[in-house]
Structures are given as structure tokens and as C-alpha cells.
Amino acid sequence: MLSRCLLFFALALADLTLAGRPASAAVREGEPVPDFVLPTMNGKKTVHLSDFRGKKVILFAWASW
Amino acid sequence: MDAQGGQAAAPYVNAAQATYPALVDTDNALGTLLGFTVVPNGVFIDERGVLRKVFQGDFEVSSPKTIMAVESFLAEPTAKGAAKSRKAPRLSDLEKQAQSGDVEAKIALGDAYNRLQRYSKAEKAFRRALRQDPASVAALFGVGVALLHQGHKAEAVVSWRAALKRAPDNYVIRKQIWVVEHPEKFYPAIDWDWQRRQPRD
């Protein structure tokens, strides 16, 4: 299963987390997702969404709380 | 977790023996992009880079419903072609755009500075945004993050409370306040009973 996709966590860390943006600012289903970049957990590398073009991406966003 | 960053998440990722990339979203980039107001969330993006499905607040990895949704998505035929998507803007572009009268551009710049841990500059960008739109939930949230990392916890909470007043259903902001004011209720283990007892006004 995992050979066909890339599964990654986006860690929404307690005080530094995903935010209260109005839903109107969001990308809608069926639209291309603009590229974004996030650091890895140890902060030593960054990962772009576009690194995974051509693969299915399953993103799991969670918080430690 | 204040400055703990990825360290606070590491025990969970290690316990899960995750073999996939684990990323840290310190400045709500995904919240901005996908409109999250709760977690845990699932997002499916196809081979073309098109958003196929967002599951908000009900994406428990071990639930049969989630597993079925994931398996169903993976079983879909490969989506061909490439959708036209915007590239991640460079900081220099964001700085130029923020010179305009666009509030969103100033917020995007603040977010970028927060991500780079340049919190003083982030605070300035968000404050400029708030001068134009004092009710901006995103700017209130962002300036709170910047303040927290400069050691101004009380001011950060004031800003987040102002954001919550304008977006009372946003549990990301609500929990953010809780975790900063009552870290002992979240680490090393979450006190769910305590959370259930908290007022929601």
C-alpha cells in the first residue's frame, strides 16, 4: 500500500500550531494545492509538497494535545 | 510547548515507528491553506497535486472508517497529467507583496518570519496587518505565536483570546490557550476530563 503513496504527518504542535484561519481562505476540493514547505521534526531539512508530484499524498495533521 | 517544537512530538512519532516524513507546522501553514479549525485531520492529494478530500476533526488513524477511506483512495487509478499549482513564494517576494495595501500579504509575511524563527520581524508584520484589519483572526493568532517565542506569554494569550472571541468554534486556538496556560494538563499525558470540564464561552 505504502509503495503507492507517501504518508506524512504534519505536526501541529500545541502552542505553535495550525491556526484559526477563515475557511474562506482554504483550498477547495478539486483545486490544485499550492506548494508548501515545512521543516522536518529535527529541523535539519525541509520538505515541499511538490517533492511528491506523481504520487498520492496522504497527509495526517495532528497535535500533541 | 513553547520552544520545545518537534521535541514534544518526537515521542509520539517514535512510538508509532513512523517510516514516513514527520513535519512540524509551527506557523499554521496548513491551517491557512486548508482551513483547519480542529485536529486530527486527513488530507488526500492526488498524483496531479489536486486536493481530493479533507477530513476535518474526525481522522483517527486506527478507525475502520479512516482505514477504509485511505484504502479506497489508494485503490483509485493514477490521476494523469499535472495540475497548475502555485509555487511556494520566496521570502523576498513576500516582503515585496507586503509593501502593498494587502492585509493577507502582510499576514503571509508574518507567517514566513515565524517559520524562520524571526519572531520580532513576524510580530511587526502581523501588527501592520492588524492596523489595517484589527479583527483579523489570522493576524491575531500569528502575532500571538511571535509574542510567545519572544517570551511574552501573557501578551500572546491576550492576542489568542481576541482571536477566539472572533472565532469561538476554533478549537485549535482554544486548545492553544489551554496548553500554554495549563501545560501540566497536557504533558506528559493529556487530561481529557479536565478538557471536558473547561467552559466554552
pLDDT tier, B42 (very low <50, low <70, confident <90, very high otherwise): very high
How far is Cα A42 from Cα B10, in angstroms, rounded to an integer? 9
CA atoms of A4 and A8, how far apart (whole Å): 13
- Mean pLDDT, to the nearest integer, of B126-141? 95
> CB–CB of B5/B24 below 8 Å?
yes
Are the beta carbons of A58 and B73 separated by less than 8 Å?
yes
B17-35: average pLDDT: 80
The pTM of the whole model exceeds 0.80: no
Query: Which of A2, A17, A26 lies closest to B33 in CB terms?
Result: A26
Pick from B79-83, B139-143, B178-182: least confident: B79-83
What order of strands is seen across the sheet that includes strand A56-63? B22-24, A5-12, A56-63, B41-45, B51-55
- Please report the residues numbered 1 through 60 in chain A whose beta carbons come closer than 8 angstroms to any beta carbon of chain B: 1-2, 4-43, 47-50, 52-60
Residues of B in contact with A25 (CB under 8 A): 32, 35, 104, 138
B92: phi then psi, degrees, rounded to nearest 5: -65, -35
pLDDT value of position B67: 92
CA distances from B80 to A53, B49, B85 (A): 11, 10, 15
3-state secondary structure chain B: CHHHCHHHHHHHHHHCCCCCCEEECCCCHHHHHHCCCCCCEEEEECCCCEEEEEECCCCCCCCHHHHHHHHHHHHCCCCCCCCCCCCCCCHHHHHHHCCCCCHHHHHHHHHHHHHCCCHHHHHHHHHHHHHHCCCCHHHHHHHHHHHHHCCCHHHHHHHHHHHHHHCCCCHHHHHHHHHHHCHHHCCCCCCHHHHHHCCCC
Label residue B131 by pLDDT band (50, 70, 90): very high
Tens digits of residue pLDDT in B66-91:
999 999 999 998 887 767 666 777 88
Instruction: Decide: A59 and A10 in contact? Cβ < 8 Å.
Output: yes
Distance of CA B167 to the CA centre of its chain: 15
Distance of CA B20 to the CA centre of its chain: 20
Residues of A in contact with B27 (CB under 8 A): 16, 19
